[in-house]
Amino acid sequence: MWRGPRLLFRMLALLCAFGPLAAALPPRTISTSRQFAIYGHDATQRSVSASIAEEVKTSLLEALGLRDEWRAMIVVLLRQPSVLTPGLPARILSFGQTGSGLKVQLELATGEAGRGLKFRDEILRALLAELSYRERSDLPAGAPFRPPPEWMVEGLSAFFEAQTDDGADVFPPGLFQTLLRAGKEFDPFAFLGRNPAEMDATSRALFRACAYGMVRLLLRDLPEGRKGLVDLLRALPESGRAAVADLPHFCSDLAQGPDSLARWWAIALSRASAPDPRRLLTVAETDRQLNQLLAFPPDPPAQAGDLADMPRRLADRKKRPTAIAQLAGARAGLVALQVRAHPLARPNVLAAIQLTDLVLARKEGQLKDRLKALAAARQTALQAGEAVADYLNWFEATQSGEVSGLFQPPRREETPAPRNDAISEYLDALESELAGPG
């Protein structure tokens, strides 16, 4: 059966849907999954763009736990600068209804007009829009288009960036520590509802960090967070709900109470502000954390809370459950600290674990003497750590026989000596012949 009329009808529908785009279509490149049609005059640029688009798509599907079941093709036009259209925005994301279904159109300016655009983020935005409207094939003409929220685009972009960097976080822990200390003075949910395009560089970086923390919470920490993120996106065309404050309507983990979202946000900040667990602590850092773990909330009549006061609390029937919980938490922290502790201070951490076990077992005999011995051992370790650091600094400054090379410019690679074998001579002769005279 000849399908010419049907094919002609689909082509005419595509031309009607993308009138300005179809007026003078440049050459195109179809991606491997056939979801992306990249239009542009530069073949290399089209090929690289199609490859990057597929990478972003793969990362998104893995993060959301979805299969590749796309329905709407994404048409990407790499627009060249033109004096005929000086006022066009650098990015135009729109939808069009064709005879074969819904089409997503993304126009991106190239060259100087497109400076500041992140191609990966724009492809991610188009993919989220396609996922949002995938089930809306009967979208009526003139229906309002609701793009994916900016916090979701920025957060997922930063999340992917962290995944490609061997799992390392893209933001320093100190930034999240600052947000954690801000408390109620900073409302992250209202802040994430703003448009980052209207922010300065500092505010934009803070917006991206907050968005990353929220997406990280949904994808890593909450059992139903991934599903809630997808459900919010799919309900966006009808509900119009895209703010962070709307997440409890789609994620059951965040609907446990009125302050559930704020409580989980604080937990996410605490985890994001934790230092790199792979880094070995110094002696001073190990001793500082050991001191924090062995300090307990004061309980009258005691002026300070320490391990020596815990047997008294355990003897009190009313205070016993709280004391047991505090000791168990301290012991868990000490076990975690032992992994990252400096070798000079690691025996002190082990001794603290043993003392905690004795107190929990109500075997507090000679506890004060053992605590004094632990304090003396901690002081010895600190002095030894300072002596080692002083010696290394002195040796590097005065006795090192060679430079480290850390501040030297990179060496130029030496040109290898020419080879005299038959194959190499033939290749050299062929290269000279192809190069021509001069």
Reported as a single tens digit per residue, the pLDDT across 89-146 is 777 887 766 666 677 888 888 765 455 568 899 999 999 999 998 887 677 766 778 8
Reported as a single tens digit per residue, the pLDDT across 414-436 is 556 667 777 777 677 767 666 55
CB 28 within 8 A of CB 37: yes
Secondary structure letter of residue 207 according to DSSP:
H
Q: Tell me: do 23 and 60 sit in the same domain.
A: yes
Per DSSP, the residues of 248-267 read GGT-GGG-SSTTHHHHHHHH
Q: In the chain, what is the greatest distance between 2 CA atoms, to the nearest angstrom?
A: 99
pLDDT tier, 31 (very low <50, low <70, confident <90, very high otherwise)? very high
Reported as a single tens digit per residue, the pLDDT across 211-236 is 888 898 899 888 889 999 999 999 88
Determine phi and psi for 82, rounding to 5 degrees: -145, 140
Residue 10 has pLDDT above 90, yes or no: no
Among 58-62, 336-340, 410-414, 417-421, the range of highest mean pLDDT: 58-62
Cβ count near 125 (within 10 Å): 23
The C-alpha atoms of residue 190 and residue 186 are separated, in whole angstroms, by 9
Per-residue model confidence (pLDDT) at position 128: 94
pLDDT tier, 24 (very low <50, low <70, confident <90, very high otherwise)? low
In this structure, of 3-12, 273-282, 307-316, the range with the lowest mean pLDDT score is 3-12
Per-residue model confidence (pLDDT) at position 188: 79
The C-alpha atoms of residue 90 and residue 101 are separated, in whole angstroms, by 26
pLDDT tier, 265 (very low <50, low <70, confident <90, very high otherwise)? confident
Q: Tell me: do 299 and 241 sit in the same domain.
A: no
Determine phi and psi for 149, rounding to 5 degrees: -65, 150
Query: Residues of the chain with pLDDT > 70: what percent?
Result: 73
In a domain, 19, yes or no: yes
In a domain, 278, yes or no: no
Per-residue model confidence (pLDDT) at position 3: 43
Last residue in a domain, options 248, 272, 296: 272
Q: Tell me: do 197 and 256 sit in the same domain.
A: yes
In a domain, 406, yes or no: no
Structural domains of the chain, count: 3
Mean pLDDT of the chain: 78
The C-alpha atoms of residue 93 and residue 79 are separated, in whole angstroms, by 13
For residue 58, give the nearest of 177, 213, 164 by alpha carbon: 164
Q: Tell me: do 332 and 354 sit in the same domain.
A: yes
In a domain, 420, yes or no: no
Residue 91 pairs in a beta bridge with 108
pLDDT tier, 393 (very low <50, low <70, confident <90, very high otherwise)? confident
Token representation of residue 29: 């490149």
Reported as a single tens digit per residue, the pLDDT across 154-179 is 999 988 887 754 445 556 666 776 77
In a domain, 424, yes or no: no
pLDDT tier, 412 (very low <50, low <70, confident <90, very high otherwise)? low
The C-alpha atoms of residue 101 and residue 115 are separated, in whole angstroms, by 33
What type of residue sits at position 292? Q
**What is the three-class DSSP state of 125?**
helix
Find the mean pLDDT for residues 182-204: 80
Per DSSP, the residues of 266-335 read HHHHHHHTSPPTTSPPPHHHHHHHHHHHT-B---TT-SSB-GGGHHHHHHSTTTHHHHHHHHHHHHHHHH
Per-residue model confidence (pLDDT) at position 18: 46
Q: Tell me: do 97 and 171 sit in the same domain.
A: no
Secondary structure letter of residue 221 according to DSSP:
I
Per-residue model confidence (pLDDT) at position 255: 84
Query: Residues of the chain with pLDDT > 90: what percent?
Result: 18
| Geometric angle at alpha carbon 176, from 173 and 178, rounded to 5° | 110
Angle between helices 260-272 and 173-182 (to 10 degrees): 150
pLDDT tier, 74 (very low <50, low <70, confident <90, very high otherwise)? very high
The C-alpha atoms of residue 302 and residue 310 are separated, in whole angstroms, by 10
The C-alpha atoms of residue 286 and residue 298 are separated, in whole angstroms, by 23
**What is the three-class DSSP state of 73?**
strand
In a domain, 435, yes or no: no
In a domain, 427, yes or no: no
CB 99 within 8 A of CB 13: yes
Last residue in a domain, options 101, 132, 163: 132
Residue 5 has pLDDT above 60, yes or no: no
Question: Rounded to an integer, what is the distance from CA 219 to the centroid of its chain?
Answer: 10
The C-alpha atoms of residue 153 and residue 291 are separated, in whole angstroms, by 42
Q: Tell me: do 160 and 189 sit in the same domain.
A: yes
Q: Tell me: do 56 and 92 sit in the same domain.
A: yes
Residue 316, judged by CB atoms within 10 A of its CB (0-12, 13-18, 19+), counts as exposed
Token representation of residue 266: 């604080």
Per-residue model confidence (pLDDT) at position 275: 63
In a domain, 428, yes or no: no
Domain extent for 126: 13-132
What CATH number has the domain bearing residue 98? 3.40.30
